[in-house]
Structure 1
Amino acid sequence: MTPAALPLLVLLAAAPAAPAAPAAPATPPPAAAPHQVVDRVAALVNGEVVTLSELADRAGPALLKAEQLSPGPERDQAQAAALKRALDDVIAERLLQAKAAELQLEATEQQIDEAVADIKKRNDFDDAALERALKEQGLDRAAFRANVKREYDAFLVLQYEVRSKVKVSDDDLRNYYQSHPQEFGGEDEVKVRHIFLPLPDGATKAQQEKVQEQMTRILQRLKTGEDFSAVAREVSKGPSAAEGGDLGWLRRGTIEKALEDAAFALKPGELSPPVRAGPGLHVFKVEERRASGTRSFEDAKEEIRAHLVDQQAGTYRQQLIAELRRDALVETKLPELQK
């Protein structure tokens, strides 16, 4: 079984650093090669040297982007920030590797073979395509396998240290579903009742004022509490009058834009002002709102579970890294990385 198939792979996905191996992108980025760096010792992690060139390689495109800025404070800050993020990634990696060795959780050659095979499958690579991808990243097979082993070792440590802490209950799933309806809904719809008063073609100003006054009196009746459907049956001249003005569920794009805007601006129970559109005046009442195509809880719960496990695992991963750093001797040697 490869890490991609293991249930707690989300622990790796929650890591802030992008993997060095071409495991994630289908089209690997070009080799990160900032201008030639005069190598120096950037930091010591439990006495183990981290070089500036290693950080430059790890920072990759972020450092290249910073170097394209005009010389000055903004460029210096961007370069330092890119190198600092790379240093944090390298420190976490070194500490997880040391923990893997301590716990005797290092990946076997068979596990690495399976992980490489899975990377090829997910990226639709054959051997030749993988070789080209590695060449573009400036890696050979040995370096690539070392990267895969490092990621697998980190995964094993995280699985060992964190798996008992990640707990997602059915109540957690239900609470998330109910508090994030926008993530599971579809297109917005409104259930509408409607009163329509026509205006004759070429209506004079006096005729328009007469119909407007009639609609104003109707609105006053509705606002004093008269039943909309009863009033609609009495006064509406629209085709839905016999059904109490019931237009059913409407979605955007199905009625004239002015009418759509008036209806969708309302909350349940609200009345629109008179709207002039087409051959007359309209008043709407929205009875309900919903998102059509809403996914049921049963359909969505495994997706929610994966999200919450990922979220918890990311938090526990950061806590584990912080604990390892507290117990480690980390010395930063470059002044720009100490800020």
Structure 2
Amino acid sequence: MKKMLCNCLRPLMLGALLVSTLAGAEVVPLDRVVAIVDNDVVMQSQLDQRMREVQQTIAKRGAQMPPSEVLTQQVLERLILEDLQLQIGERSGVRITDEELNQAMATIAQRNNLTLDQFQQALARDGLSFDDARDQVRREMVISRVRQRRVAERVQVTDQEVQNFLASDLGKIQLSEEYRLANILIPVPEGASPEAIQAAGRKASDVYQQLRQGADFSQMAIAHSAGDNALEGGEIGWRKAAQLPSPFDSMVGSLSVGEVTEPLRTPGGFIILKVEEKRGGSRMVRDEVHVRHILLKPSEIRSDAETERLAQRLYDRIQAGEDFGALAKSFSEDPGSALNGGDLNWVDPQSLVPEFREQMNNAPQGQVTHPFRSQFGWHILEVLGRRATDSSDQLREQQAMQLLRNRKYDEELQTWLRQIRDEAYVEIKL
């Protein structure tokens, strides 16, 4: 009996001894789960780390820090959404290689005008480790690819939507050029007699002529304008053409910086506008070159030196009077142009390899170049013409397409994020 009693008490004594030992030790807090998210969890350490990052960002902006409980809830919700997207990426087989991640880190450093070592030092000064930053970038790259597959690929913009946007007032405002304007107003009182209107018109014409002869617009505005902004030299700030009354909306686009409009009659009097500066807009003039060439490629049966000699012989034959196009059809190894006599049609120089572009830019029109080497082989080329093409309409369409895609993407993304959040099992443990 005594032996059995001792055996029964031994665990109690051992427990008491353990408790007394731990009572004198320092309590070390362990990491804990703050949210269960489908098949994963968000840990307190993750929340604390992201809280520090967000607080530093808010402090750098000089903004007021929200209450701690509000910020904690916002950050935790962000971590939950990130975790859901990372789980989708894991199931979909999205992987970020070390090479891709290294390149991304180098790009971030370069954007901040830092070397990679300087970037690491800057992170350390902010209390962030390079490994933590690297892991966060990896997470963001995975999330970006998930969104590309699940959201961006579903966004479609039709040509009709683009044309409707370009024709809308909003489209005209967003894509139009901006002008910094100044004005001079020569007033015409309400109910003025024909003689008074004519006198105001003559004064406006006289001011306009003085401006054309070099008079300072600001001084003329101070001296003669009846506008509210006369003492500011007539300065009215930045305006888009669509924000101006007719016919100024159509006139300013044809003016160069520093030019002024003729006096125009308005209900308040005669107005002269000056374009002080321009910015934005979508006018783009692109240089194009009409060129043809003969391409000869080295191969296993023809060395680079032999290919160069063949190119030289063809050049000599062209110089002797043989037809460039006929020789291109017979010898050129460029499948895209050989059947057309080597004609590449009108091309943008920026779309060509540097060696070809340099030779083309330096070649006089109508003169055949000596054979030269590029990554594709040996070339002989002839420039047939040069022109400047106004690609403004194409550029505006591209800009409209991108604006509409971005708008649809933002709407689709928010819908998708709400959907995956609603469908997920999330239990907050905080």
TM-score tier after normalising by the smaller chain length: 0.5 to 0.7
Find out whether 1:314 has 2:410 as its counterpart.
yes
**Preserved CA contact (<8 Å) 1:189 1:292:** no
1: CA distance between counterparts of 2:200 and 2:58? 66
**Preserved CA contact (<8 Å) 2:184 2:226:** no
Task: Give the CA deviation at 1:131.
Answer: 2.1
Change in Cα spacing, 1:118 to 1:106, as seen in structure 2 (3 Å) is same
Q: Which has the higher strand share?
A: 2
- Equivalent position of 1:177 in the other structure: 171
Bigger radius of gyration: 2
Q: Determine which of 147, 150, 153 is the counterpart of 1:164.
A: 153
Task: Give the CA deviation at 1:316.
Answer: 2.2
Change in Cα spacing, 1:230 to 1:259, as seen in structure 2 (3 Å) is closer
Change in Cα spacing, 1:58 to 1:329, as seen in structure 2 (3 Å) is same
- Equivalent position of 1:123 in the other structure: 112
| Equivalences for residues 23-172 of structure 1 within 5 A | 40-60=32-52, 63=55, 78-168=67-157, 169=159, 170-171=162-163, 172=165
- Equivalent position of 1:269 in the other structure: 266
Task: Provide the aligned C-alpha RMSD in A.
Answer: 4.4
- Equivalent position of 1:259 in the other structure: 226
Task: Give the CA deviation at 1:92.
Answer: 1.4
Percent identity at matched positions? 19
Structure 2 SS opposite 1:105:
coil
The alignment covers a number of residue pairs equal to 250
Structure 2 SS opposite 1:259:
coil
2: CA distance between counterparts of 1:239 and 1:190? 12
**Preserved CA contact (<8 Å) 2:183 2:221:** no
2: CA distance between counterparts of 1:45 and 1:314? 24
1: CA distance between counterparts of 2:125 and 2:112? 15
Task: Give the CA deviation at 1:329.
Answer: 0.5
How high is the TM-score relative to the length of structure 1? 0.57
Task: Give the CA deviation at 1:174.
Answer: 5.4
Find out whether 1:230 has 2:215 as its counterpart.
no
2: CA distance between counterparts of 1:121 and 1:64? 21
How high is the TM-score relative to the length of structure 2? 0.47
Task: Give the CA deviation at 1:117.
Answer: 2.4
2: CA distance between counterparts of 1:228 and 1:161? 69
Of structures 1 and 2, the one scoring higher in RCO (CA 8 A, sep 6+) is 1
Structure 1 SS opposite 2:75:
helix
Task: Give the CA deviation at 1:157.
Answer: 0.6
- Equivalent position of 1:331 in the other structure: 427
**Preserved CA contact (<8 Å) 1:240 1:247:** no
Change in Cα spacing, 1:227 to 1:87, as seen in structure 2 (3 Å) is farther
2: CA distance between counterparts of 1:317 and 1:269? 48
Structure 1 SS opposite 2:427:
strand
Change in Cα spacing, 1:332 to 1:228, as seen in structure 2 (3 Å) is farther
**Preserved CA contact (<8 Å) 2:34 2:44:** yes
- Cα deviations across residues 114-153 of structure 1 (Å, max 9, x unaligned)? 2122222222222321221332344444333322221111
2: CA distance between counterparts of 1:62 and 1:110? 28
Task: Give the CA deviation at 1:308.
Answer: 4.2
Query: Greater shift after overlay, 315-324 or 149-158?
Result: 315-324
1: CA distance between counterparts of 2:99 and 2:39? 31
Counterpart residue identity of residue 293, structure 1: K
Structure 2 SS opposite 1:144:
helix
Counterpart residue identity of residue 323, structure 1: Q
- Equivalent position of 1:286 in the other structure: 271
Change in Cα spacing, 1:59 to 1:160, as seen in structure 2 (3 Å) is same
2: CA distance between counterparts of 1:115 and 1:98? 22
Counterpart residue identity of residue 255, structure 1: A
**Preserved CA contact (<8 Å) 2:35 2:42:** yes
- Cα deviations across residues 252-272 of structure 1 (Å, max 9, x unaligned)? 67521873426779977222x
- Cα deviations across residues 1-44 of structure 1 (Å, max 9, x unaligned)? xxxxxxxxxxxxxxxxxxxxxxxxxxxxxxxxxxxx99653221
Task: Give the CA deviation at 1:312.
Answer: 3.0
- Cα deviations across residues 32-80 of structure 1 (Å, max 9, x unaligned)? xxxxx9965322111533233422321226558999xxxxxx99x7111
- Equivalent position of 2:373 in the other structure: none
- Equivalent position of 2:375 in the other structure: none
